């Protein structure tokens, strides 16, 4: 499994030979996108997120990591 943080990284990974069934957007594992992983958002650069930028990204990625762990556990 190869995880991309945004669509630009996703496209670069596919273009460099990554197989589409192995490359995923990180946020596609977030519970918010459980019904439609293809609508997952990119993870924005926290530097441009103002005072709360890094806190917001932390929350986004925490949810996505929990979903990723659930997926991996289900596949084992």
In this predicted model, what pLDDT tens digit does every residue of 25-53 receive, in sequence order? 999 999 999 889 888 999 998 888 788 88
User: What does the alpha-carbon distance between residue 74 and residue 76 come to, in Å, rounded to a whole number?
Assistant: 6
User: What does the alpha-carbon distance between residue 36 and residue 53 come to, in Å, rounded to a whole number?
Assistant: 25
Residue listed under structure tokens 């997952």: 40
First CA to last CA across the chain, in angstroms? Answer: 14
User: What does the alpha-carbon distance between residue 66 and residue 58 come to, in Å, rounded to a whole number?
Assistant: 12
CATH class of 2-75: alpha beta
Residue listed under structure tokens 């659930």: 70
Is this model's pTM higher than 0.75 or not?
A: yes
- CB count, 10 Å around CB of 9? 17
Q: Which of 1-5, 27-31, 37-41, 72-76 has the lowest mean pLDDT?
A: 37-41
């Amino acid at each position: 499994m190869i995880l991309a943080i945004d669509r630009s990284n996703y496209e670069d990974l596919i273009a460099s030979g990554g197989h589409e069934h192995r490359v995923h957007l990180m946020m596609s594992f977030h519970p918010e996108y459980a019904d439609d992983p293809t609508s997952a958002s990119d993870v924005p650069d926290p530097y441009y997120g103002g005072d709360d930028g890094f806190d917001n990204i932390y929350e986004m990625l925490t949810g996505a990591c929990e979903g990723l762990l659930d997926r991996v556990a289900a596949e084992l």
